[in-house]
Structure 1
């Protein structure tokens, strides 16, 4: 194997267990040809699980890790066990150059802390950001930061915009992503000083491969008006959880409505193609994978409750970022922005 085509997978992370992780990796192998894997975790358990996926063994190498990071573990505790846990070893494989990216469904705080400590931030980046793809009416959109930095200054928001645009060019195949800052209004005078100052900086970045569209309000996130939404981690995490909760609420309402009477059940059968399309569009497994942008290496956070489709989606995202050399794109865009601002 070559590191350029190899993904390190924390096989022990996630709420659904090893069997789902291996099923997701097997699905990713079939979907993304040429991708190979370092499966990190309990060697005996992984090898036993591979018996159910005979085609995966030839594309995988097992790396033993005697311990796992629990979902309740504090980041400070997890960092001290980085050398012996499946999560820590997966990240270290990226640092060593044995893998081009790492994927884990484990503890988000621990994954962020370990990744930042091991890989360090890129030159020119003050803080890394957590970015994810969210569904909209048109296509997916990139949103960051989603919780890595509760408080941000103007410089952080500008860096997030540059990184988010580079990510959108890779994940969404866009030449010049439309970027907006999340705000409490669309007027130029609205928002905090840091948001207005960041907007002024981005309006002046005319030579970057992005189109700055000003501000966007929370009720417009799903309309498809922009491709990248930038905010601090506190606001972003609230917006993300609200969107996820709303999607579940709509799904539960539909289930209740279609099961309320015989007539509604017949109506469900008639409208099933449309409801299946809606379910697929809102299914988080089809949008799974949050990325820590701004590090000297690629790390993807898969949702803890992801099924095998979700795990495969996160791995596919990692493979795409490796193929398109996202880290280099971010570095080049930042250098161009700094040169333009000088």
Structure 2
């Protein structure tokens, strides 16, 4: 790999964010656009991918040569339809270059809108796990009453052990304390009923472990049900990656259908269209809260470095927000604080 500085640009004031600029459904265009938007706020970015393609995309953005953006050449990219295991033998793949930059201390975080499985595999193989964490998890935010609920795991681990859920509760607790200023966030265990005796064998075992952790770095509320996620009954909800991914996709899909129904209702007649003008501002704000691009990307929490995974369909706004979120996590020393919480700093 090699790096090219955009001539005339200022020297970065902090470690840059390594962006897998070739990843995602739409290739370089939204990645470069989002990176430029993030760089305009002062965040340094390394665009990782085909040098010629990335310079051509940067050329479409007036003034980009004066921004803290570098291009790091990567000869390969793992496509969305390829296997996650391909990261093992393709060292020149853009996501591998990104995680290697983090490992070598040349980047603060790796961000990818590309192959989620490949991103997880690359981060785990290159960065390793925080001592005391058996499996990293994907942590995301879902819009909920009064703000958002933090949900994990949403896809990294389909088959889990109860101990993983307890570890994720600890990780998420530190995350919310560090990045969201929530002093003593509550933790709920997703189940089919709020009663302690309800749930699968996994849930019952995890419940016992979380109850033991209560007051020792975890504020365990107890079992929560699916509707509690959106009522924000607890700050954090832990579950296995299979269930969490279903919840996430269901929530995102239902939001799209719901807004489709609202749009249809508000354009069905002249009185409805007049009413639509009156509520347009409120609906715009609601759409903003429910838009996944607001959060940009989800962190793979539990690895010894920062890695963020976004949607393959991400637009420039999502890329920008992902880069900003990664920079914020680095500035807050998230990984060292997670390691300290597990006694392995």
The TM-score with structure 2 as length reference comes to: 0.92
Are the equivalent residues in 2 in contact too, given 1:134–1:287 (CA < 8 A)?
Answer: no
Cα distance in 1 between the residues matched to 2:336 and 2:121: 22
Please, which runs of 5 or more residues in structure 1 have no aligned partner?
Answer: 337-342
Instruction: Specify the SS of the correspondent of 2:197.
Output: coil
User: Residues 146 and 214 of structure 1: is their aligned pair in 2 closer, same or farther, counting only changes over 3 Å?
Assistant: same
- Shift in Å at residue 319 of structure 1? 0.8
Instruction: Specify the SS of the correspondent of 2:193.
Output: coil
Cα distance in 1 between the residues matched to 2:297 and 2:235: 17
Are the equivalent residues in 2 in contact too, given 1:180–1:228 (CA < 8 A)?
Answer: yes
2:159 is aligned to 151
1:30 is aligned to 40
Are the equivalent residues in 2 in contact too, given 1:140–1:172 (CA < 8 A)?
Answer: no
Tell me which moved more, 212-221 or 71-80. Answer: 71-80
1:63 is aligned to 72
- Shift in Å at residue 204 of structure 1? 2.8
- Shift in Å at residue 153 of structure 1? 1.0
1:297 is aligned to 305
1:79 is aligned to 88
Cα distance in 2 between the residues matched to 1:79 and 1:249: 39
Residue 181 (structure 2) aligned to one of 169, 173, 177: 173
1:340 is aligned to none
Matches within 5 A, 1:304-323: 304-323=312-331
Residue 242 (structure 1) aligned to one of 250, 270, 277: 250
Matches within 5 A, 1:114-129: 114-129=122-137
Residue 204 (structure 2) aligned to one of 189, 196, 207: 196
Instruction: Specify the SS of the correspondent of 1:135.
Output: strand
Residue 12 (structure 1) aligned to one of 17, 22, 43: 22
- Shift in Å at residue 54 of structure 1? 4.6
Instruction: Specify the SS of the correspondent of 1:292.
Output: strand
Please, which runs of 5 or more residues in structure 2 have no aligned partner?
Answer: 1-10
Are the equivalent residues in 2 in contact too, given 1:7–1:319 (CA < 8 A)?
Answer: yes
Structure having the larger proportion of residues in helix: 1
Cα distance in 2 between the residues matched to 1:95 and 1:157: 27
Q: How much is the aligned-residue C-alpha RMSD, in angstroms?
A: 1.7
Are the equivalent residues in 1 in contact too, given 2:14–2:44 (CA < 8 A)?
Answer: no
2:4 is aligned to none
Whether 1:327 and 2:335 are equivalent positions in the alignment is yes
Cα distance in 2 between the residues matched to 1:136 and 1:44: 43
1:257 is aligned to 265
- Shift in Å at residue 52 of structure 1? 2.9
2:7 is aligned to none
Are the equivalent residues in 2 in contact too, given 1:186–1:215 (CA < 8 A)?
Answer: yes
- Shift in Å at residue 2 of structure 1? 7.0
Give the aligned length.
Answer: 333
Residue 119 (structure 2) aligned to one of 93, 107, 111: 111
2:96 is aligned to 88
Are the equivalent residues in 2 in contact too, given 1:155–1:198 (CA < 8 A)?
Answer: yes
Are the equivalent residues in 1 in contact too, given 2:39–2:69 (CA < 8 A)?
Answer: no
Whether 1:214 and 2:222 are equivalent positions in the alignment is yes
Instruction: Specify the SS of the correspondent of 1:122.
Output: coil
Cα distance in 2 between the residues matched to 1:167 and 1:235: 21
Cα distance in 1 between the residues matched to 2:69 and 2:126: 24
Instruction: Specify the SS of the correspondent of 1:291.
Output: strand
Whether 1:183 and 2:170 are equivalent positions in the alignment is no
